[in-house]
Amino acid sequence: MSKNSVVTKALRITQQGRGTNSEKVQVIVTALRLGDLMKFVDIDRWSPANLDGYQRPPLDRRIKDLAKYVLQEQGILPTSVLLATRPNADGNVNFKLTEKVAEGIEFGELRIDEGAVLWGVDGQHRYFGVKRAYEDGTAELADYPFPISIMVDVDRYQEMVHFNIINTRQRKMPTDIVDRHLVMRQEREGLKMLASGKRGEKEYLFARATRIVDQIYDLKGQPWYQQISIPGVPGRDKGLVRQHAFVASLEPVLKDNWVRAQQPLEDHVVKILANYWGALEEAWSDAFKTPEEYRVQATVGLYALHMVLPAVIQRCVADKDLSKAKMKGLIAATGISSTFWHKQNGDNLTLGTGMASIRALAEYIIGEMPATSPTAVKL
């Protein structure tokens, strides 16, 4: 046996669906170190010179993110990397049965000989991320172990089919559920989330925003009472906007310096939002009576009006008055009416759905509000 061969314990699983064209496929489940994988793994990428390739080029940004995750964060990658061997390929991948565990499940010894090729079907970013961290100078990562699943003797077309199924039929986790995970992480990790970098800072903010949205959802007497949905959650699947849209839209509010100085922050923000949306409801009553006909309580209005809110807060704080009546006066002074937001007859500024259009809409509204009185500052 060559020094470049690898021998390890493994399970061999035989799977077959019940469809008419389903065929048996053997899958070997084991773990391999990065140093071992680098001897055998290859990626069948499409290019003008390889028209039958099926893999996409890896994204360097994702590889860098994975490398950073391994070097600076938990670095745990528990999901199995999916590889494949092809029939009649050079090199050998052999499984020696030592024990039958159950029908279709066998325990034994896997030997991968020098020259064998393990084709990467899924998980290339994980593999290349750890490899990047290793190549950047962290030599001990040669021993980093990956969970591995190897489909045995499948051709290139079958690899492509499995790659396609994994990347098109397996849906990403809904962002509304991810928000819930962030709340649990914040409760467990606290300020450690902020210390994990730019992404951690945003996730910390979104965790706070999620708790605020929950309070707004349950707060009677304002227009978002029970009107924020979480798709797929019975009792919370109906509403004018999705939870995640509301959560994400609060970012400019929670980044406002005056807001950040308030304690307890979340309680203050809930009160401000209740006053603000109550003021908007009174100023644009028609839009709130039939919200489905207007864009105020749609995604474009939600994002734009939360971009406007820090400017409203600034003017209110200058007069030491954050009441609903004060906010209503500022909104009324813009001269904007419900018609501005109408889906059929409204202003063109409300038609855009991209963030650039929404920012332009917010700037227009801010520009129509009365300015604050100049404040003399001693330097």
> In the chain, what are the domain boundaries?
6-168, 175-368
Exposed e or buried b per residue across 265-294, where buried means at least 16 C-beta atoms within 10 angstroms of its C-beta: ebebbbebbbbbbbbbbebbeebbeebeeb
Q: What is the rounded CA–CA span in Å between residue 262 and residue 258?
A: 7
Query: Is residue 122 packed enough to be buried (19+ CB in 10 Å), middle (13-18) or exposed (0-12)?
Result: buried
Query: What is the average pLDDT across 211-235?
Result: 92
Pairing mode, strands 41-42 and 118-122: parallel
Pairing mode, strands 6-15 and 41-42: unpaired
pLDDT at residue 353, as a whole number: 86
pLDDT digits 0-9 by tens, 62-71: 999 999 999 9
The pLDDT-based confidence of 78 (bands split at 50, 70, 90) is very high
Q: What is the rounded CA–CA span in Å between residue 156 and residue 79?
A: 23
The pLDDT-based confidence of 193 (bands split at 50, 70, 90) is confident
Query: What is the average pLDDT across 298-306?
Result: 98
pLDDT at 375 over 70: no
pLDDT at residue 377, as a whole number: 57
The pLDDT-based confidence of 91 (bands split at 50, 70, 90) is low
Contacts of 102 (CB under 8 A, 6+ apart): none
pLDDT at 160 over 60: yes
pLDDT digits 0-9 by tens, 98-151: 999 999 999 999 999 999 999 999 999 999 999 999 999 899 999 999 999 999
Contacts of 312 (CB under 8 A, 6+ apart): 276, 327, 330, 331, 369
Contacts of 307 (CB under 8 A, 6+ apart): 252, 358, 359, 362
- Secondary structure letter of residue 347 according to DSSP: -
Q: Between 92 and 332, where is the model more confident?
A: 332
Q: Determine phi and psi for 15, rounding to 5 degrees.
A: -115, 145
Across the chain, mean pLDDT equals 92
Q: Between 1 and 39, where is the model more confident?
A: 39
pLDDT at residue 90, as a whole number: 61
Query: What is the average pLDDT across 3-20?
Result: 91
What percent of the chain is predicted at pLDDT more than 70? 95
pLDDT at residue 171, as a whole number: 60
pLDDT at residue 7, as a whole number: 96
Query: What is the average pLDDT across 148-171?
Result: 85
- The vertex-152 CA angle with 146 and 155, nearest 5°, equals 115
Structural tokens at position 14: 């035989």
Closest CA to 117 of 3, 54, 29, 41: 41
